[in-house]
Chain A
Amino acid sequence: MRPQQELKAPSMISHTYEPEWKQAGLSGLWTVVTVLAVAVMLQVGISMKALPPASLRQDPDSVILGTKGRMAREKDSAAVVFVGDSSCLVNVDMATLSEAGGVRGVNLGLLSYLSIDSFGRIAQEALAVRGPGRIVLVVHPEALRLAAVSPPHEKLLAAIFDDVPVEIWGSPNPVARILGFDEFRDRVVNRIIPEPLRGAFGAHYGFSGDLEKELLRSRGTMREARIFDPKGETASGEYRLAKRIESECRGFRGRLPVGTRVRIIISPVPASIARKNHESQMADFQARLENWLGADLWVSKMPSVLPDSQFATVTHLLPEASIQYSQVLRKRLIEGP
């Protein structure tokens, strides 16, 4: 056993100091110099365009926008171009549409928090390489009632098409942004190291690069991995058209070359949240949107309500349900109005 240690304070002073702080100061100074030197080198590299542009493989949103931007500009044999919000992205299955000599198309569906005008922009880019053709705009009632869109997403899509350096959402860390370390991560690190996706996206697609590959392989269709839980959803079936929609629709039409035929589809909602007058209300929306868009043709009898069991979220169908939905859509597209 060790002897007892006496804990009585020998003096009331808590510290004695060694006054030589020169070494510590020099070490700290070199730390700061190194950080600033790296920041300056990065800024020089960016201004001299020595660094590659930012990778669009950061998160599901940037992957979707980046990949769809590329797909829009790649000439293919698509006869129909599908644009719209995430209900287009998920619910319209390109493989099903093209089955048995069906409709050969490309799915350029984006995200709900982009404007209809942005959907028009991607359609414009797609038709610029493919020539005037058929455009199907797919929107969900949830997106139609959104009062505002997301400026960072709009800005990112515009940057992709304007061929200017894209700026990813920005870091929550202002120091990294000011020093340019964000740029290093976006332009260099994310090109080398795979970036894992979070939540349901991660469980299904794994990494951003793998989501990109999957989007390219499926000609733009994304699969949902979640299961609809009406209790967990806060959505209400009280739908309306936001004020912005009319001008955005007119902007959409204005972007398309003469001779382009536009169709519009309003995506279905789960039965548990649909109101009694949902069908008639959607028919009314349909008529107004067609008017604003100058739609010259309509795909009739697409369902506006489907059983909850077919949904992953309020706006997204489960993979099997999206195939069934796309089979109906193929039939309508072939049959016409």
Chain B
Amino acid sequence: MIFSTNPFLLFFVAVTLLYWLVSRRASHRNLLLFAVSLFFYGWWDWRFVGLLLVTGGLDFYVAQRIEDSREDRGRRRWLWVSLASNLGGLGFFKYAGFFIDSASVLLTKMGILWSRPMLEIVLPAGISFYTFQALGYAIDVYRRQIRAERDPIRYFAFLTFFPQLVAGPIERASFLMTQFVEPRRVSQALVQQGVWLMAWGFFMKVGIADYLAPLVDLAFGSVAPWRMGVIAGTLAFGGQIYCDFAGYSTIARGVANTMGFELSPNFSQPYLSSSIQEFWRRWHQTLSTWFRDYVYIPMGGDRAGDARTFINVVATFTLAGLWHGANWTFVFWGLWHGLALGFYRLWQRFRPAGWEIRIPGLSWLVTMAVVALGWLFFRARSLDQALSMLRGLGVPDGPAWSGSLVTAVAWGLAGVAVVDVFQRRCPWSRVKDWSPMLRGVIQGVLVVLIISRWGKTASSFIYFQF
């Protein structure tokens, strides 16, 4: 079920009413949330519900075995079971075709004839998100940071919590599971925050991301890329993916708020960053911290010298790129960001005294250029297309509609800028003290803009494919 569709609105109203009308007992509400979350997920394909329950159920069992094991060896063995099942499932559904294709290309280039098996594997929605959440839970139990959950309903309510099930934020059990246990303090401020976040989230998705989507398709669909088309298309995609994903995360947080839950922020105006390091502190924060805690730090983090730190950063980002999708374009995107961050850290460490960028806005411009080049690879269908588009930067003349594309993209990017600057200057901590009238009027304007574009272009969320 996609947030920006009529079925979800009906679902949300029905679930919220049910949620507040049924018994206030935690166990009843957890059961209700678990049931509606399965319905939400099964809306795509009921077969995937089985997969979710099986893989999630295995982690539920494994976490208890980890906790019950007296010896470290036993704990480690059970952790490997969790790693193998989670990463094995992810690998099969998401990467089997990719690795077989890549092997086929490699073998063909080596002159080895190989009959490639034809696999038609359907990727279950949100598998990368809920797999990481379940994996994080098992690792946290292994590290003795949390206790294993013994109540299956509570555990599954945490794992399948519908606002964040298919596209995050990727939550830690220490933060979200506890909310299914402890009595939640539902305040009018929390509900108002939820409504405020939902209004902004829907505006970002429906008003901006869906507006930019066909412009990106036009630019990236061109068989003869040209300079302004490549620049405008890449910038438009940067705006689209941000408003699409941040919009989703913001709606998810808002929906959770209306039911008394808090979810972690996932984006904090990343396009206002002045360094690549700052960008990654503001972009997809829950994935970044997941990779930091479960990949980068176990690899040694920054504790083993500059060279090793550089390698760890690059390797972690390359893996994060692969997490996004089974395509070399994503791997390159991760590698690009890893290299950028690795070199940035080295620059920060070894920069000669006085070598600082003093031109206002230059560091922001350089950061955005690095990010934009990454987006070009991220959006391209293949590395060949990405390279073709890069070559297009040298082609000055485009089609007759090049000017219209630039104008249309400029409108969309202006929308992105307005959203980011507004949210930076007016975070909820400030907005909550505003008068109800001012908040209501702003919400009303956002609702008008949302309704005006609702259903005009029905597009799924980009991150569902990941």
Contacts and interface: CB of A to CB of B under 8 A. Distances in A.
Contacts of B429: none
A14 B222 CA distance: 55
A35 interface: yes
B443 interface: yes
Interface stretch (B103-111, B141-149, B365-373): B141-149
B182 A10 contact: yes
B26 A194 contact: no
Contact of B440 (A14, A34, A175, A193): A34
Nearest to A175: B451
Contacts of B195: 24, 27-28, 31
B451 A176 contact: yes
Given A18-B188, A202-B214, A203-B221, A4 B444 contact: no
A14 B29 contact: yes
Interface string A146-161: 0000000000000000
A227 B389 CA distance: 24
Given A23-B188, A26-B436, A7 B145 contact: no
Nearest to A24: B188
B146 A29 contact: no
A213 B400 contact: yes
Given A23-B188, A24-B191, A176-B454, A207 B404 contact: yes
A34 B404 contact: no
B407 interface: yes
A260 to B, nearest CB: 36
B452 A35 contact: no
A7 B149 contact: yes
A13 B183 contact: yes
A109 B232 CA distance: 34
A196 B143 contact: no
A5 interface: yes
B230 to A, nearest CB: 15
A4 B408 contact: no
B27 A12 contact: yes
A15 B222 CA distance: 54
A294 to B, nearest CB: 42
A167 interface: no
Interface stretch (A73-81, A181-189, A247-255, A316-324): A181-189
B452 A7 contact: no
B444 A34 contact: yes
Chain A CB within 10 A, most for which of B222, B401, B408: B401
B430 interface: no
Given A27-B195, A30-B439, A184 B26 contact: no
B144 A206 contact: no
A246 interface: no
A14 B157 CA distance: 13
A335 interface: no
Given A35-B447, A171-B455, A181-B452, A206 B440 contact: no
Interface residues of B, number: 60
Contacts of B174: 2, 5
A38 interface: yes
Contacts of A172: 455-456
Contacts of A273: none
A27 B431 CA distance: 12
A193 B444 contact: no
Interface residues of A, number: 58
A206 B182 contact: no
A35 to B, nearest CB: 5
B181 interface: yes
B451 A173 contact: yes
A6 interface: yes
A206 to B, nearest CB: 3
B184 interface: yes
A28 B196 CA distance: 10
Interface in B422-466: 436-437, 439-441, 443-445, 447-448, 451-456
B261 to A, nearest CB: 10
B183 A207 contact: no
B362 to A, nearest CB: 31
Nearest to B143: A1
Chain B CB within 10 A, most for which of A2, A15, A35, A214: A15
A23 B436 contact: yes
Given A14-B26, A207-B408, A27 B400 contact: no
A210 interface: yes
B440 A28 contact: yes
A159 to B, nearest CB: 22
Contacts of B408: 193-194, 196, 207
B215 interface: yes
Interface string B219-234: 0011100000000000
B178 interface: yes
Nearest to B406: A194
Contacts of B447: 31, 34-35
Contacts of B437: 26-27, 30
A32 interface: yes
Interface in A1-53: 1-2, 4-18, 20-24, 26-35, 37-38
A205 B25 contact: no
Contacts of A27: 192, 195, 436-437, 439-440, 443
A23 B448 contact: no
A212 to B, nearest CB: 11
A185 B451 CA distance: 11
A207 B439 CA distance: 37
Nearest to A207: B404
Contacts of B358: none
Contacts of A33: 440, 444
B431 to A, nearest CB: 10
Interface of A: 1-2, 4-18, 20-24, 26-35, 37-38, 171-173, 175-176, 179, 181-182, 184-185, 189, 193-194, 196, 198, 202-203, 205-207, 209-210, 213-214
Nearest 4 pairs of A and B residues by beta carbon: A30-B440, A34-B444, A206-B401, A26-B436
Given A30-B439, A185-B452, 9 more contacts: A4-B145, A15-B29, A27-B440, A34-B443, A173-B454, A181-B451, A194-B405, A194-B407, A203-B223
21 contacts: A1-B143, A5-B147, A5-B178, A9-B181, A9-B182, A14-B28, A18-B188, A23-B192, A24-B192, A28-B195, A30-B444, A31-B441, A31-B443, A31-B447, A34-B447, A173-B451, A185-B452, A189-B452, A194-B408, A207-B405, A214-B400
